């Protein structure tokens, strides 16, 4: 089991559609030895048969989109609602996929009772109980835990950590606390540099950290040219790295030119992982455009009809080591 912290970072391309008689493209197979994953959502899992078909066949690791976030899984103090998250875990087991747990420490999607009225001691007790109870419940069923989510400030270099309940109560000890209890990236360069320095410092201080997850919610044509080098420098610290949340927002009509650029962007991100030996997985944040957290961005590799877009074929090419189109 691994623990990680996350931070949030022309002409039509020649991706030929598969002929009807061709062997089906299964991305989870092409990704090996890495995992290809998706954020799974119980709202759609068994209520949209086309969604269920895609998610059952194409992915080898799942992250619960909302079902393990604090407001969902512990809505009242020490009262846990495991049902929806259990459903995704059982589904993953049924299709031979692994699970990422997501997440323990984040400034958003907290239940009303986790608020500033708690003393630091009370919040510390609640955090430890939250982490240990959930990890005990899913012991042996989770491949990796996203322990900390989006804690590095967007205002670097002026501040290191975001201003939220965790930093207000614990200061710089917030992240080490969560990582210690679990042990039993939006990548502007400054943000990435700050996280790198934080991770390097944690390792030097013996804070238990195994991996760094990169959130890649990119706008069309804006994938950083330094992405692979950025993955590699964290890997060089002895950490696994993963693309944990990937989508490419078209921000406009999904015409042939935009879809071609989106495909190019997906290829670039997946290739960056393939070129980094310690990059263990790529996960898209959702499955199809109609079920994305960004409703009008046409952000995912499958369209609203669950048909593969050029991005799907670009991902396949990248996993197979085919050159940039």
Cα 264 to Cα 221: distance, rounded to the nearest angstrom? 8
Tell which wins on pLDDT, 147 or 12.
147
Task: Please compute the mean of the pLDDT values over residues 24-36 and round it to a whole number.
Answer: 97
Asked whether residue 271 is domain-assigned, the answer is yes
| 22 secondary structure, DSSP code | S
Asked whether residue 242 is domain-assigned, the answer is yes
Q: How confident is the model at residue 195 (pLDDT cuts 50, 70, 90)?
A: confident
99-119 in b/e form (b: 16+ CB < 10 A) is bbbbbbbbbeebbeebeeebe
- What's the predicted TM-score (pTM) here? 0.87
Asked whether residue 182 is domain-assigned, the answer is yes
Task: Please compute the mean of the pLDDT values over residues 152-161 and round it to a whole number.
Answer: 72
Peptide bond into 279 cis (omega under 30): no
Output the pLDDT for position 125.
97
Largest CA distance in the chain: 64
Q: How confident is the model at residue 152 (pLDDT cuts 50, 70, 90)?
A: confident
Contacts of 180 (CB under 8 A, 6+ apart): 207, 208
Output the pLDDT for position 16.
45
Output the pLDDT for position 190.
57
Task: Please compute the mean of the pLDDT values over residues 15-24 and round it to a whole number.
Answer: 58
Residue 150 has pLDDT above 70, yes or no: yes
Asked whether residue 49 is domain-assigned, the answer is yes
Residue 132 has pLDDT above 90, yes or no: yes
Output the pLDDT for position 162.
86
CA torsion sign, 131 to 126 to 66 to 251?
A: negative
Output the pLDDT for position 206.
87
Residue 188 has pLDDT above 50, yes or no: no
Q: How confident is the model at residue 124 (pLDDT cuts 50, 70, 90)?
A: very high
Asked whether residue 178 is domain-assigned, the answer is yes
40 DSSP β-pair partners: 64
Nearest 5°: the CA angle 17, 297, 260 is 35
Contacts of 173 (CB under 8 A, 6+ apart): none
Asked whether residue 67 is domain-assigned, the answer is yes
Rounded percentage of the chain residues whose pLDDT exceeds 90: 71
Could you tell me the two tokens for 133? 């109870």
Cα 220 to Cα 214: distance, rounded to the nearest angstrom? 17
Cα 108 to Cα 255: distance, rounded to the nearest angstrom? 34
Task: Please compute the mean of the pLDDT values over residues 14-25 and round it to a whole number.
Answer: 60
Residue 187 has pLDDT above 60, yes or no: no
Asked whether residue 21 is domain-assigned, the answer is no
Could you tell me the two tokens for 167? 């930093």
The CB density around residue 9, as the number of other CB atoms within 10 Å, is: 24
DSSP, residue by residue, 194-235: HHHHHHHHHHHTT----EEEEEEEEETT---TTHHHHHHHHH
Asked whether residue 20 is domain-assigned, the answer is no
Task: Please compute the mean of the pLDDT values over residues 79-98 and round it to a whole number.
Answer: 97
Asked whether 161 and 174 are in contact (CB, 8 A), the reply is: yes
Active site residues: 245
Q: What rounded mean pLDDT belongs to the chain?
A: 89
User: To 10 degrees, what angle do helices 256-274 and 310-319 make?
Assistant: 20
Task: Please compute the mean of the pLDDT values over residues 262-285 and round it to a whole number.
Answer: 97
Asked whether 226 and 269 are in contact (CB, 8 A), the reply is: no
Q: How confident is the model at residue 325 (pLDDT cuts 50, 70, 90)?
A: low
Q: How confident is the model at residue 40 (pLDDT cuts 50, 70, 90)?
A: very high
Output the pLDDT for position 1.
56
Q: How confident is the model at residue 197 (pLDDT cuts 50, 70, 90)?
A: confident
Output the pLDDT for position 189.
56
Output the pLDDT for position 156.
64
Q: What CATH number has the domain bearing residue 126? A: 3.20.20.80
Structural domain harbouring 166: 2-14+26-319
Output the pLDDT for position 2.
55
- Which helix (H) or strand (E) segment holds residue 148: the answer is strand 144-149
Domain count, the chain: 1
CA torsion sign, 313 to 63 to 9 to 252?
A: positive
Task: Please compute the mean of the pLDDT values over residues 9-25 and round it to a whole number.
Answer: 52
């Amino acid at each position: 089991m691994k623990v990680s912290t996350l931070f949030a970072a022309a002409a039509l391309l020649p991706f030929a559609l598969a002929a009807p008689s061709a062997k089906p493209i299964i991305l989870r197979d092409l990704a090996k030895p890495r995992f290809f994953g998706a954020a799974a959502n119980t709202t759609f899992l068994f209520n949209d048969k086309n969604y269920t078909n895609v998610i059952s066949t194409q992915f080898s690791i799942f992250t619960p989109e909302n079902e393990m976030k604090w407001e969902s899984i512990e809505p009242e103090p020490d009262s846990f609602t495991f049902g929806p998250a259990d459903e995704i875990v059982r589904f993953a087991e049924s299709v031979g996929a692994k699970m990422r747990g997501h997440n323990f420490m984040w400034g958003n999607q907290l239940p009303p009772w986790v608020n500033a009225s708690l003393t630091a001691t009370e919040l510390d007790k609640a955090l430890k109980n939250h982490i240990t109870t959930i990890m005990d419940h899913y012991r042996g069923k989770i491949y990796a835990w996203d322990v900390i989510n989006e804690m590095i400030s967007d205002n670097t270099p002026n501040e290191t950590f975001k201003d939220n309940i965790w930093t207000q109560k614990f200061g710089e000890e917030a992240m080490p606390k969560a990582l210690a209890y679990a042990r039993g990236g939006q990548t502007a360069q400054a943000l990435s540099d700050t996280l790198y320095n934080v991770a390097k410092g944690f390792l030097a201080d013996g804070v238990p950290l195994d991996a760094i997850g990169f959130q890649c919610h990119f706008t069309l044509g804006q994938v950083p040219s330094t992405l692979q080098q950025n993955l590699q420098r964290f890997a060089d610290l002895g950490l696994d790295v993963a693309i944990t949340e990937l989508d490419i927002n078209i921000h406009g009509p999904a015409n042939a030119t935009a879809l071609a650029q989106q495909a190019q962007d997906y290829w670039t991100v997946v290739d960056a992982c393939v070129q980094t030996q310690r990059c263990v997985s790529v996960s898209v944040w959702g499955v199809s455009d109609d079920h994305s957290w960004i409703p009008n961005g046409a952000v995912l590799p499958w369209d609203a009809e669950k048909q593969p877009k050029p991005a799907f074929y670009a991902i396949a090419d990248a996993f197979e080591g085919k050159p940039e189109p």
